[in-house]
Protein backbone atom coordinates (compact mmCIF):
# COMPACT_ATOMS: atom_id res chain seq x y z
CA UNK A 1 0.00 0.00 0.00
CA UNK A 2 2.94 2.27 0.67
CA UNK A 3 4.17 1.79 -2.91
CA UNK A 4 0.75 2.75 -4.25
CA UNK A 5 0.67 5.88 -2.13
CA UNK A 6 4.13 6.96 -3.24
CA UNK A 7 3.20 6.19 -6.85
CA UNK A 8 0.08 8.32 -6.60
CA UNK A 9 2.02 11.17 -5.01
CA UNK A 10 4.63 11.05 -7.78
CA UNK A 11 1.87 10.91 -10.37
CA UNK A 12 0.11 13.91 -8.85
CA UNK A 13 3.35 15.88 -8.58
CA UNK A 14 4.31 15.09 -12.16
CA UNK A 15 0.89 16.15 -13.36
CA UNK A 16 1.12 19.40 -11.44
CA UNK A 17 4.70 20.11 -12.60
CA UNK A 18 4.09 19.35 -16.25
CA UNK A 19 0.75 21.14 -16.24
CA UNK A 20 -1.24 18.48 -17.97
CA UNK A 21 -3.86 18.49 -15.25
CA UNK A 22 -4.34 21.45 -13.03
CA UNK A 23 -5.61 20.63 -9.55
CA UNK A 24 -6.42 23.12 -6.92
CA UNK A 25 -4.99 22.77 -3.43
CA UNK A 26 -8.39 21.71 -2.15
CA UNK A 27 -8.63 18.90 -4.71
CA UNK A 28 -5.14 17.72 -3.78
CA UNK A 29 -6.14 17.72 -0.09
CA UNK A 30 -9.31 15.78 -0.89
CA UNK A 31 -7.33 13.21 -2.84
CA UNK A 32 -4.80 12.92 0.00
CA UNK A 33 -7.64 12.54 2.53
CA UNK A 34 -9.24 9.84 0.39
CA UNK A 35 -5.92 8.03 0.16
CA UNK A 36 -5.54 8.18 3.95
CA UNK A 37 -9.08 6.95 4.52
CA UNK A 38 -8.53 4.10 2.06
CA UNK A 39 -5.31 3.15 3.84
CA UNK A 40 -7.17 3.11 7.14
CA UNK A 41 -9.92 0.95 5.68
CA UNK A 42 -7.33 -1.36 4.15
CA UNK A 43 -5.57 -1.82 7.47
CA UNK A 44 -8.93 -2.50 9.16
CA UNK A 45 -9.80 -5.04 6.49
CA UNK A 46 -6.41 -6.72 6.95
CA UNK A 47 -6.97 -6.98 10.70
CA UNK A 48 -10.46 -8.41 10.14
CA UNK A 49 -9.05 -10.96 7.70
CA UNK A 50 -6.36 -11.93 10.20
CA UNK A 51 -9.02 -12.37 12.91
CA UNK A 52 -11.11 -14.58 10.63
CA UNK A 53 -8.07 -16.68 9.74
CA UNK A 54 -7.34 -17.19 13.43
CA UNK A 55 -10.97 -18.11 14.12
CA UNK A 56 -11.01 -20.55 11.21
CA UNK A 57 -7.86 -22.24 12.51
CA UNK A 58 -9.43 -22.56 15.95
CA UNK A 59 -12.61 -23.94 14.39
CA UNK A 60 -10.59 -26.49 12.44
CA UNK A 61 -8.91 -27.61 15.66
CA UNK A 62 -12.28 -27.89 17.40
CA UNK A 63 -13.71 -29.89 14.49
CA UNK A 64 -10.74 -32.27 14.55
CA UNK A 65 -11.13 -32.77 18.30
CA UNK A 66 -14.87 -33.43 17.98
CA UNK A 67 -14.27 -35.92 15.17
CA UNK A 68 -11.79 -37.74 17.39
CA UNK A 69 -14.36 -37.84 20.21
CA UNK A 70 -16.96 -39.23 17.79
CA UNK A 71 -14.56 -41.99 16.70
CA UNK A 72 -13.83 -42.84 20.34
CA UNK A 73 -17.55 -43.00 21.15
CA UNK A 74 -18.18 -45.26 18.15
CA UNK A 75 -15.37 -47.56 19.28
CA UNK A 76 -16.84 -47.60 22.79
CA UNK A 77 -20.26 -48.54 21.38
CA UNK A 78 -18.71 -51.40 19.39
CA UNK A 79 -16.84 -52.68 22.45
CA UNK A 80 -19.97 -52.51 24.60
CA UNK A 81 -21.87 -54.46 21.93
CA UNK A 82 -19.21 -57.17 22.07
CA UNK A 83 -19.39 -57.14 25.87
CA UNK A 84 -23.15 -57.72 25.78
CA UNK A 85 -22.69 -60.79 23.60
CA UNK A 86 -19.92 -62.15 25.82
CA UNK A 87 -21.70 -61.74 29.16
CA UNK A 88 -23.94 -64.71 29.93
CA UNK A 89 -26.93 -64.31 32.26
CA UNK A 90 -26.83 -65.83 35.74
CA UNK A 91 -29.05 -68.77 36.67
CA UNK A 92 -31.54 -66.49 38.41
CA UNK A 93 -31.81 -64.08 35.47
CA UNK A 94 -33.57 -66.54 33.14
CA UNK A 95 -37.24 -66.55 32.15
CA UNK A 96 -37.73 -70.10 33.33
CA UNK A 97 -36.71 -69.27 36.89
CA UNK A 98 -39.06 -66.31 37.18
CA UNK A 99 -41.88 -68.24 35.55
CA UNK A 100 -41.41 -71.01 38.08
CA UNK A 101 -41.22 -68.50 40.96
CA UNK A 102 -44.53 -66.98 39.85
CA UNK A 103 -46.22 -70.30 39.09
CA UNK A 104 -45.40 -72.13 42.34
CA UNK A 105 -47.13 -69.66 44.68
CA UNK A 106 -50.15 -69.57 42.39
CA UNK A 107 -50.34 -73.38 42.39
CA UNK A 108 -49.88 -73.53 46.18
CA UNK A 109 -52.60 -70.91 46.79
CA UNK A 110 -54.94 -72.84 44.49
CA UNK A 111 -54.11 -76.06 46.33
CA UNK A 112 -54.85 -74.45 49.72
CA UNK A 113 -58.15 -73.03 48.50
CA UNK A 114 -59.08 -76.47 47.15
CA UNK A 115 -58.47 -78.06 50.58
CA UNK A 116 -60.75 -75.65 52.39
Average pLDDT over residues 3-15: 72
Q: Note the pLDDT of residue 58.
A: 94
Please report the DSSP string for 24-70 in residue order: -HHHHHHHHHHHHHHHHHHHHHHHHHHHHHHHHHHHHHHHHHHHHHH
Average pLDDT over residues 48-60: 94
Q: Which residue has the higher pLDDT, 28 or 7?
A: 28
Would you place residue 4 in the very low, low, confident or very high pLDDT band (cuts 50, 70, 90)? confident
Could you count the other beta carbons within 10 Å of the beta carbon of residue 97? 13
Convert the pLDDT of each residue in 11-30 to its tens digit.
766 666 555 557 788 888 88
Interatomic CA distance for residues 23 and 12, integer angstroms: 9
Report the predicted TM-score, pTM, of the whole model to 2 decimal places: 0.46
Amino acid sequence: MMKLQSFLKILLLSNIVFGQVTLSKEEVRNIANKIDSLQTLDSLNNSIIADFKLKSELDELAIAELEQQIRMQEDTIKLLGKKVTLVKPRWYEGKFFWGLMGGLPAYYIGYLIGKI
